[in-house]
Structure 1
Amino acid sequence: MMAGGFLEPFLADAGQASRSQAAWLTEARTNALQQLARDGMPGPRSEAWKYSSLRALGQRQYQRGDAEANSRAIDKQLLALPGVDGPRLVFVNGAFRADLSTTRTIKGLQLTALSSVLESDPDSLQPFLSRSFDDPAHVFARLNSALASDGPVIRVAAGVAVEPLVHLIFVGAAASTSLAWQLRSIIEIAEGGSLRLVEHHVGEAGQSHFGNVLSQIAVRANARLDLLQVQNSPETASLTRRTDVVLDADAHLELRSIEAGAQWMRHDLVVNLSGDRSRFVSRGVFALRGRQHADTRLDVRHSARDSACDILWRGVADQRSRGIFHGAITVEPGADGSDALLSNKNLLLSAQAEIDTQPVLEIYADEVKAAHGATVGQLDEHALFYLRTRGLSADEARSLLTLAFCRVAFDSVENEALREHLDVLLLERLPSMEQEPTTDKASA
């Protein structure tokens, strides 16, 4: 393990808990800091970090938090998403900005900031914030547990179907120095409730902050959450995210993810199908260029009978970028009748690009239906030739085929304006007109 300069500013605050916070919260934060001090950052022998070395990060130092987050000027265009005009919560460098947020009273929906709930009703957050991350590989979850003091808290009451599309916006704002900010997101859908949510990551060009986001999601019995994650942070920033989900009996999570931004990105998606007949559907894509590095890890556990997961992810890497996809499905003892499907297909658009994919399937129950597969290849030269005979340039043909390859991740988005915006976002990531088409003859 490596302590490194990265952790030093945070470990210096060990034991300096706020006198006003609840005793259980002080204990949880102190425990997380002690774990960090003991284990440091994972080294090259850590299997979870095998493809994403933390050595360079371990040598960097960031200023903790942003004392000026509440007053920084933000371009309103960063906050806009076509087709999304419902209530929104905005956080800048990890701090809530009421002046940029637009909330309205919706029966059965609570939209507020973690900092506010910690003052008014901290004990209601204990099941979430008291969690301990005991695996040393979860270094950033520990850091978040120790230091995060703000983020969105979203709760849907039992039996309430929230109609408006709720918009969460996490902004990285430029500052005179590189910052490290922590943000904790808590989402709870009570029994029989439903919510549609967009999680949107953006930032101002040129900033080189380190953002650390930990989201805890609980979908109770017979409830549903439709979640779209759009990660389009500037390519100078670093971002690590962990999304922890628990699905109770007959609960349903439909998750779509687009990873297009950040110079260095890590996303751990951990889903526990803890209730009978719970269902998880995931569609995702990462589109990389330049020297971007994106590491996506899925860990799905079937812990109950007749639960189901359907996972389909696509990856595209161009120039000297690198993408990593780790998809693990575990069917635990007693989870009979589980149905698990994982598919990951990837495109290399450059001889210098790299994609590593690892599908993992472990089954410890009977009467299970399961399948997984992964491929890495290049664009089909026959398809490229066909499009060029129809009058398209080489680059137009490549962009069209690559977009079609990626669109499977979000073609089921019903909001037409939003879907068209996602098309544009991906097209911006694809090769420029100046680049030469690949000549490798292989098919994805």
Structure 2
Amino acid sequence: MAPGHVDVRVARGADGTIRIDAGPGLRRVEAYGDAVAAGPAFTRAVLDVAGAVLTWPVLGDPGMPSAEVHDAGRAQQWVWALYGERVAAAVHDCAAGQAGHADARVTAEVTALAGAAARLGLGHWAARWWPTSYADGIPALEPDLLGLELAALTHRCQQLFDDEGDQPDDCVDQLIEEHRAALDPLIQWWRATPQSADAARQLEGVLRLIDDAADSAGLDGPALRHLHSSLEGRGPGAAPVDLGALFARRAGYALAAGEQLVTGGRVIARGSGVNDWRRYPPGFVDATENAVSWTARALGTLRRIEVEALADPAAPTTGIPLVAEVQVNGGGPHRVPLTRRDDLWTGHSDLSSDLPAGVSAPRIEVGVLLPGFDPGPGTPGESDGRAERDAVRALARRRLAVAARPPAYDASPHGSCSAPFLAETAATATDEDY
């Protein structure tokens, strides 16, 4: 993030919440926990910090975050370091209820913490919303590699967090423990990279932050001891490594490998459903727009619908109650259980009561969701998110294209928000046919 200044608005709401708005004017407002931001949830990065929630747009320049401050006392430990002293003073005055300070425009400083926090927020966004798609040619990000870089970034941004235990993004020790399997491959990558290369500096920076974070958290184990000893004395460079082999992922699959559920019968209608990423966890369904398809058949007097959804290669094969939600001619939703078969989620259900024999051109809407996780289909008149999903896919392709190129002399520093994550660089080295 380039040095400079940004005008922000600091305002206190009727409930005492203080909003720091660093973005353009809000469009339709959608709630995300304590945060308020424009557009679908997958178009913004969100970070829970001490006394507040920070949000950034991911489509376009993330810039400075907006903030919903619900505890100004706790937030003051980082507001000055993130936005500068003038914003910190405005937040203090708003919280104190001083006359004339309930709504103020002040100039924020673009600080080093702001840049690191933006990158951390984007990393959490990538872990949740990265549009992995075999059909669209967008490879997955290796989760252990991304998790370790998130651990490093979280440690770098510790000023944003406190010890109250209500900030799920303050999870350095959990990230290291959960993703330590990538430590040895990461060390191999670093040792095989020429010390003069920008990638070597990025790799070493991540490894040193992880080492320091593990030491601070009292973590131990062979992988962490190997990390510490490697950093103590790197020695001569190792032989070049194949990143695709170091961070191997599950192979691709044929798109037409699913089992046909019903044979025979007359096809009444067929079409594509809505693939709303918000309605199921990451890694369940291929992120392509046309991942969900359906066919309505007449089998004598019986009316049946079959649903198929392209599975993400990492999707679990058992124990997941993924369902298709079917609506016929504007009627109530009907849920169809889906089962993982090879590369597809498949299921079928009787629709005789919803689809009488005399109906020749039914209007059928189909979506896929995980009960208990699904926030709902949205409100009437709300955009279905197709344009925003297309924009996210375009963003992923741009970032992968940058990651695949040797860094230019004027490239963004590796710690900036626009610089590729290590997992993005590794994804471009895969041999899979994405």
Band the TM-score falls in, shorter-chain normalisation:
under 0.3
Instruction: Name the larger-Rg structure.
Output: 2
**TM-score (ref. length: structure 2):** 0.26
**TM-score (ref. length: structure 1):** 0.26
The structure with the greater share of residues assigned to helix is 2
Higher relative contact order (CA 8 A, sep 6+): 2
